[in-house]
Amino acid sequence: MHQNSPLDHEKEVIYEGIEILNSKLHGCIKIRPKNSYDRHFVTITRGEGGKCFANVGRIKKNRINLDSKCYHKSVVMHEFIHAIGFYHEHQRIDRDDHIEIQWDNIKDKLQFAFKQQINTDTFGVPYDHLSIMHYTWRAFAKDRSKPTIESKHHSIPTKKLGSSHEPTDYDVMKIKRMYGCDGGYDGYTHSDQLSPNYDSGLDYSQGVFHEDKDYSDFDTSAYGGSPNGDEYYGEENVSPNAAFSAVFYDGFY
């Protein structure tokens, strides 16, 4: 166990988040404790400083860091999905068709977490405003009465951005397509452009969403990536189109 490992009650939150994620990804990916034969894995550390973060994709010595304020099941799942290989939804190549970033209201040192990632793949999955990987409407705002991200779609209110507490169907679909678990998908595209007037058909009355979910209230930073972001490794049986040659991690310390 890592010397800065989570406390026992915090581990319970981690296990609960993993259980939900494993259930959602059943038949594709399973997160489990590492064994002595595993060469690639994630180490979970309990750092301080108000930061929740994970490296994106498979890199050397990957870890998920959870500050004492980060122990929420949705944060745990968010960070594991970074390790699985995805940046934030609001960093997608097609994001400007769906949202508008209000750069002037973002804290200067955190603007990198809103930077568009142009070398990524949508895997043919529509933009998901509600994704567990999407920042909320006022994340890291200088003035929290104003948004840092605004929705361009009438059917998705700005205050609903990033409001899912669990991986959405689209989150799950993207992971399965990256890892080749979706047998009905045979191509990759960046062209899932939707009209600003499209109707998502989403029902907000089902209690799945909560507009007050905003972990920047805790001064945490749920971002992915690292200064060593160029340290990606290839892996057999991983799609050449998979963003960042990402592969799944078998477990954690």
Q: What is the pLDDT of residue 143?
A: 97
In whole angstroms, give the CA distance from residue 221 to residue 148: 14
What average pLDDT does this structure show over 163-175? 96
Q: What is the pLDDT of residue 112?
A: 92
For the chain, give the percent of residues with pLDDT over 90: 47
Which residues are within 8 A (CB) of 107 and not within 5 positions of it... i.e. 6 or more apart? 140, 141, 142
Total length of the chain: 253
Segment 112-151, tens digit of pLDDT: 999 999 888 899 999 999 999 999 999 999 999 999 999 9
- Which residues form the catalytic set? 79
The pLDDT of residue 33 is above 60: yes
Residue ranges of domains in the chain, CATH in brackets: 8-245 (3.40.390.10)
Q: What is the pLDDT of residue 43?
A: 87
The pLDDT of residue 194 is above 50: no
Which residues are within 8 A (CB) of 109 and not within 5 positions of it... i.e. 6 or more apart? none
Contact 49, 4 (CB under 8 A): no
The pLDDT of residue 27 is above 90: no
Query: pTM of the predicted model, to two decimals?
Result: 0.75
Which residue in this structure is represented by tokens 């400083």?
A: 49
Mean model confidence pLDDT for the chain: 74
Q: What is the pLDDT of residue 40?
A: 79
For the chain, give the percent of residues with pLDDT over 70: 70
In whole angstroms, give the CA distance from residue 34 to residue 11: 15
